[in-house]
Structures are given as structure tokens and as C-alpha cells.
Chain A
């Protein structure tokens, strides 16, 4: 059962990597990159339960935070061209 789940996750990874490589616009790539991170989280969790070490789920949570930071940094840079941009400046 778990092995089937792992295989499914890896198949999904293949599909997402294809999208990263082809993706006509940059945002397809960003979204696909984010999905790769999500799939890595799922893979980590499934393998943790498969190997009888469910405490890996804590590490999976950290992956989630990292994934969010990376994607947010890229998107913020695309929007503002600057990582330290203050959104309040736009409204003022």
C-alpha cells in the first residue's frame, strides 16, 4: 500500500519536472517548483510511515516552511525587483 503511494508520488514528480522544464512562462516554472517541494514533503511523510519512523513528519513541516519562503522570495522579486521592498511604499 505504502509502496504504491511512493510510486505514485514519484510518478507525479516526473510529471511536475516535465512541466518545470517545458513551462512556457516563468510562473509555470515557479508553480511547478513549489509543487516539487510539496511532493518532497509527501514523499518524506510516506517514507517515514513506511519505515516505521513517523517522527519524520516534523521534518516534513520544516520543508513546508522552506518551500513557502523560497516561493515567496521568488514571487516578491518578480513583483518588486527587490527582496527588501516595503509594500507600504506603494500605497503612500
Chain B
């Protein structure tokens, strides 16, 4: 049910020409996605989705919209080949999932490699009660440091891009009435 709503909102995002509406829809999408993740009992991921999708990216998209116009020009020609490629790749990925082992089996390689070691020794070695936090912040500490560096650099780049332009004061930006989603 929620997934159907997600699909509907996604199609509307693609088809809508008013970029204000697109930003609102992106926030809606993010909250719906967070709800789906909550239903799957992944509250921490849902938390991240809501914080990044509905909080930060709304502000960032608005700041980017400040530098451009609010209406998107319609595409000059229908993009048939990219659609074909995307659908093909998606179908291939779905086909590939049939070869995966069943979810959550204890005998699969991913659950046999280092997971038993972590389960046995993480509390003793890291003194962190939460196993996920112990793996991310201790065993994979350098990996997490690298990720943080990448995100930080990207943030600086975005800030420089948004800051580098002198804001134009010409004309008040009243939003036009958008005519439907088509």
C-alpha cells in the first residue's frame, strides 16, 4: 500500500514541471519512504531518511532553486533509449536476485565470515553495547572516517557553489500557479 503511494509520488515527481512542487513532492516521498522503513522495523534508517530527505535536502534544493528558474522546460524529445536501458538493467537486477540465498540464513558466507567473531568478542574488545555501533565506529573506524571525509568535502563543495553567486534581487519570486502534474 505504502509502496504504491511511493510509485505514484515518484511518477508525479518526474512529470511535474513546477520545481517548487517537485521539492514538496520530494519531501513527501521522503516521509513515505521513512514510513515504509518503519514498517520494516528499521527505525534508525528511517530516521536518517527523514533527516536527510525531508530536512537537509529540502533546504539544499531550495537554495539551488534560488539560482535558477522555477519552471522546468519540457523535454524536447522522448528519451526512449535511456528508458529501455534503465528498464533492462532493472529487469536484469531483479533476475539476479533469484540466485541470492534466502534472506537471513545462518549458513550463507556473509554470516559465516567475521560475524561470529564480532558477536563473540565485540563487547570485550570495544566496550560498546550496541554491536552495529561497535562495528561501524571501531572495527571499521578508518572506513567510517573516509566516508565522513567524503561527505564533508561534498558539503564544502556544495556550499562554495551556492555561495559563489551574488544573489539577484531583481523581481520578487512569487510562485506561479502550477497547472496540474502533467
- Could you list which residues of chain A lie within 8 angstroms of chain B, going by C-beta atoms? 10, 13-14, 17, 20-22, 24-26, 29-30, 32-33, 36-37, 39-40, 43-44, 47, 51, 56, 59, 62-63, 66-67, 69-70, 73-74, 77-78, 80-83
Contact = CB atoms under 8 A, between A and B. Distances in A.
A74 B43 CA distance: 26
A33 B38 contact: no
B127 to A, nearest CB: 23
B106 interface: no
B99 interface: no
Interface string B15-36: 0001011011101100110110
B51 A74 contact: no
Contacts, number: 120
Contacts of A80: 173
A32 B8 CA distance: 15
Contact of B50 (A22, A33, A39, A40): A40
A37 B27 contact: yes
Interface stretch (B58-66, B77-85, B88-96, B144-152): B58-66
Nearest to A66: B55
B59 A69 contact: yes
B28 A83 contact: no
A83 B25 contact: no
A18 to B, nearest CB: 9
A38 B178 CA distance: 24
29 contacts: A13-B2, A13-B5, A13-B35, A14-B1, A17-B5, A17-B8, A20-B24, A20-B25, A21-B12, A21-B181, A26-B21, A26-B177, A29-B25, A36-B32, A37-B31, A40-B35, A44-B46, A47-B38, A47-B39, A56-B38, A59-B43, A62-B47, A66-B55, A70-B27, A74-B20, A74-B27, A78-B173, A78-B174, A83-B63
Contacts of A73: 58-59, 62
A67 B24 CA distance: 11
Nearest to B5: A17
A38 B66 CA distance: 27
B35 A43 contact: yes
Contacts of B178: 25-26
A37 B54 contact: yes
A77 B58 CA distance: 11
